Amino acid sequence: MKISTDEVLHVAQLARLKLDDEAVGKFSGQVADILDYVETLNQVDTTGITPTSHAISLTNALRDDKPAVHLDREDVLANAPEKGEGAFIVPRIIGDPS
């Protein structure tokens, strides 16, 4: 299987990773090798087999809707790279950055 550099760049965009040319070249080869190996799964007949998403059969874990103590806002914001007025600050989202 071959993965084109365009495909790697598309997936990197989906994953919000900015890859340089060297990384794109290296990953396209390595990811292709790994996906080739993964193709061996197609040797297994899985007709009618239910997929496993959870190793232990549990039903939904529900709890009573009761108020409880949560983390203090200042404690939560303490690790934020940029903060102000009790909120996380992020770069501009809408409009021309210039």
Residues that bind other proteins (CB under 8 A): 3, 7-8, 11-20, 23, 26-27, 30-31, 33-35, 37-44, 46, 49-56, 58, 61, 63, 71-72, 75-76, 78-82, 88, 90-93, 97
Instruction: Give min distance, CB of 85 to other proteins, in A.
Output: 15
Token pair in block for residue 69: 């103590």
Contact 27, 19 (CB under 8 A): yes
Instruction: Give min distance, CB of 82 to other proteins, in A.
Output: 7
Instruction: Give min distance, CB of 86 to other proteins, in A.
Output: 13
Could you identify the residue written with the tokens 């990773």?
17
Give the C-alpha separation, 94 to 96, whole Å.
7
Strand partners, 83: 88
